[in-house]
Structures are given as C-alpha cells and as structure tokens.
Amino acid sequence: MSSLTVRGVSKAFGALTVLDGVDLTVEDGSTLALLGPSGSGKSTLLRIVAGLEQPDVGSVHLGGDEVTHRPAHRRGVGVVFQDQALFPHLDVAGNVGFGLRMAGVDRAERSVRVRDALGVVGLSGYEHRDPATLSGGEAQRVALARALAPRPEVVLLDEPLAALDQLLRERLLVELRSLFDELDVTVVAVTHDPTEAAALGDRIAVLLDGAIAQVGTPGEVIAAPVSTAVAGLVGQRNVLAGRVVEGGVETALGVLPVDVGRARGDVGVLVPPSALVPTSDGDVRSVVCGLLYRSGTPVAVVDAGGVMLDVLAEPRWAVGDAVALDVDPAGVHVMAR
C-alpha cells in the first residue's frame, strides 16, 4: 500500500496542452475518482502515473519516492483499461499471470498468485477458462485480477466499466467498492460518469481543461460544486445565472435571500430539487411539463416562466398541472459562474 502524489504535472502534444500544472494527492488505502469529460486529460494523467507517458514538467511520487523517470514495470502500479485487453490465445490463468511471467516469477509462485488474485475478484476455479467464453463482467474482473496479481502499491482504472450495460455496471460498482475496501489498496479510477465517481471514490477530483477544478468528498463535490462547469459535470440541472445584490442573489426566480459568502457580481446559483417546496401560495408559479424517474426518484420537470426546473414530484401531480413553489434558501448554493 502506498500514497500517490502528483506535483505540477503538465503535458502537451504539439500545440495542444492536455495537462496544465496538475497537483493531486491520494492517501494510502483510499480511492480517488478522477472525473472529467472526454478530452479533459484524465487518461493522459493516468498514463503518466503508470509510467506509460512522461510529463513535460512536474513529478510523480509513490510512497514518498519520486518515480517520474522510473520504468513502468518497476513502479509497482497495476492498470486496468476500458477494453480489458485480454490475450485471446491465453486462458484466464495465462492472462492473469502474464505480468508475473514477464517479471521472471517462477511457475509455482505464479500459480499461487494467480489463484489468490482470482479468488479476490470472485473467480476461483476460472484458471482454464477461455477468455472468449467470459461475460463482460467476468472479463473485467479477470483484467482486475491481472492488475492485482503482481501485488501493486497502486491500482489505476481507466473507464473500467464504460463498455458494460447499465445493470451490470451498477452491480460491479458495488462489488469493486467492496473489494477496494477489503484490500485496503490505493486506487485511482478515471470516469466521465458522476454516478460512478460517487460510488467508487472516497474523494472525487474534477479535471477540466487539463487542470484540477475541485477535490472533495462525493457529497461536497455534488452538493457544493465550485462552478457552473463542475455543477453540469456532476449532473446538477437546476443551475441559474445570478447576480449578487443587497439581501441575496437576483435570479430568474426573483431575489433569493441566500448567504453569498464572499461572492460578488455575476454568479451561478444551484437550486437543487430538494430546495423547491410545493406550497399553495408559493412565489414561483410553474406548470408541470413532464414526469419521470431519476435513479428511482419521481421527478417533475416544470416550466417556471421559461425556466425549466427539476422538482421532487408529488404523487397527485399530472402533466399540465399548475403548481406553486417556494425556494428554501438554506438549500441554495452560490458558486462561480
């Protein structure tokens, strides 16, 4: 087990700057979800940590030791890629033990480590299975076993569940998080999915335009994003333009009497569905445009004078109903626009 520290890492490919002064720390035995859209630099950062790319500037440290220029095979880092990259001509044991064989580990020790790694991921007895006979979830777990077999200090996951269907992905999220907690291993999991990031990570680091925009617990990042860009990335929909005025912040819903902290001028305003309270005489007049479920929760999409909002739906509501809402100031979050 080892901590991971990235200091001032920058990387450009020609005229395109992909990473710009990235600083990041992952504590021993913790899991960090690295969240960002396509093209934000997530996979490049992972490859630099793994030793598959060299940074133009900056350094990588494992357990306090600088490994920036250490070859990938000497870093003690296991990597699981999105496509699993299993060798079709090798059975499961051959795939899991491949890195050990390349490292010169003798046959008897390889056999023990392969068996142990498959047991850890719940695939005991799969040693002689053909990769072509595996389900998507089984193949992903074989890839994870292959990464764990050399007993790495850090495990890196690059969009490991992106190719799986939703039900399988949700089940593996639970299994992976339980496995990481059991192993007490240091993990960095790259994803573009906020649900996946929240399920896997003790902390989430948001990477936007090659720089770290925010780091915090899943609750902190999702409930209190630092900017409208981060709010959109983590799936927050009720984000309004606002301007700080005396007594609060002015929005399309009126002046909301909220604590603006040190904010001044133009801001973003997050009004989560839980902060919109249906009342008979509410100031926000709206019409129900649609009813749907998000993660099993009934949600109404309402039109409040041209502003589309998600609201926690009441059982009696139907499309076309006029509903009045009050805004609970305590639930409103002000952030950078």
Sign of the Cα torsion 255, 256, 258, 262 reads: negative
pLDDT at 164 (0 to 100):
67
Q: Whole-prediction pTM value?
A: 0.87
- The pLDDT score that the predictor gives to residue 291 is 95
| Low-confidence stretches of the chain (pLDDT beneath 50) | none
Question: What confidence score (pLDDT) does residue 233 get?
Answer: 94
Contacts for 241 with CB less than 8 Å, ≥ 6 apart: 251, 252, 266, 268, 269, 337
Q: Return the pLDDT at 177.
A: 82
The rounded distance, in Å, linking the Cα atoms of 251 and 304 is: 12
CATH-assigned architecture of domain 4-232 = 3-Layer(aba) Sandwich (3.40)
- Domain residue limits, the chain: 4-232, 238-335
Torsions phi, psi of 210, nearest 5? 80, 5
Q: Is 229 helix (H, G, I), strand (E, B) or coil?
A: helix
**Length of the chain measured in residues:** 337
**pLDDT score, position 117:** 87
Instruction: Please tell me whether residue 252 adopts helix, strand or coil conformation.
Output: coil
pLDDT value of residue 1: 56
Strands, E, within the chain: which ranges?
A: 4-13, 16-26, 31-35, 57-62, 65-66, 77-80, 154-158, 186-191, 203-208, 211-216, 239-245, 248-251, 254-256, 266-270, 276-278, 284-294, 297-304, 307-312, 322-327, 333-335
- Residue 137, token pair as written in the block: 């979830």
**3-state DSSP call for residue 155?**
strand
Can you say whether the dihedral through the CA atoms of 197, 201, 205, 207 is positive or negative? negative
| Confidence at residue 163, expressed as pLDDT on a 0 to 100 scale | 63
Cα distance between residue 288 and residue 301, in whole Å = 6
Given a contact cutoff of 8 angstroms between Cβ atoms, the answer to whether 78 and 147 are in contact is: yes
Task: Say whether 131 sits in a helix, a strand or coil.
Answer: helix
Joined tokens for residue 80: 């699981």
Query: Is the CB of residue 22 less than 8 Å from the CB of residue 6?
Result: yes
